[in-house]
Amino acid sequence: MALTVAEGSDTYCRDSLQTGRMATGLELVAQRLYHRLTTPVGTLLGGEDEANFGEDLAAYVGSTDQNAIGAMLPVRVENIIRRDPVVAEVDVTAVRTVAGGEVSWDLTIDVATTLGPVTLIVAVSDVSVDLLGVR
């Protein structure tokens, strides 16, 4: 029988694997949600669930009309996050930033999960998705 997220643990891995350190509870959920935003669909090995896991959000931002992305990005992120079975509610706020001719988006992703609330602060551009913080 598979463990639920509340009972499980995994190796700590936000942007890089940290052997010897484990993630559990809301930290594990936050890491999994972040990975959903950075893992291109079809690159995770496994079965059907793994094949549909993720989205390359940086590629999406880079290939979408910049005039339309302000309205589309929060909805897209919400749909990606809602794929996770522990997610009950999602609220995404996107703020556009222009610096030196480069456009990026600061996202505040408030998520109600079966384990409790978690907020991800994420920066997205056409080249990267960076997790700035978890609350």
The domains of the chain, with CATH numbers, are: 9-134 (3.10.450.40)
pLDDT score for 12: 57
pLDDT score for 100: 87
Q: What distance in Å separates the CA atoms of residue 13 and residue 43, rounded to the nearest whole number?
A: 17
The 10 Å CB-count burial string (b at 16+, else e) for 75-102 is ebbbebbeebebbeebebebeeeeeeee
Average pLDDT value for the chain:
85
pTM (predicted TM-score): 0.84
Q: What distance in Å separates the CA atoms of residue 16 and residue 40, rounded to the nearest whole number?
A: 16
Print pLDDT tens along the chain (135 aa).
455 555 676 665 666 565 766 667 888 899 889 999 998 888 878 888 778 888 899 999 888 887 788 889 999 999 999 999 999 999 999 999 988 888 899 999 999 999 999 999 999 999 999 999 999
Residues in the chain: 135
Distance of CA 115 to the CA centre of its chain: 17
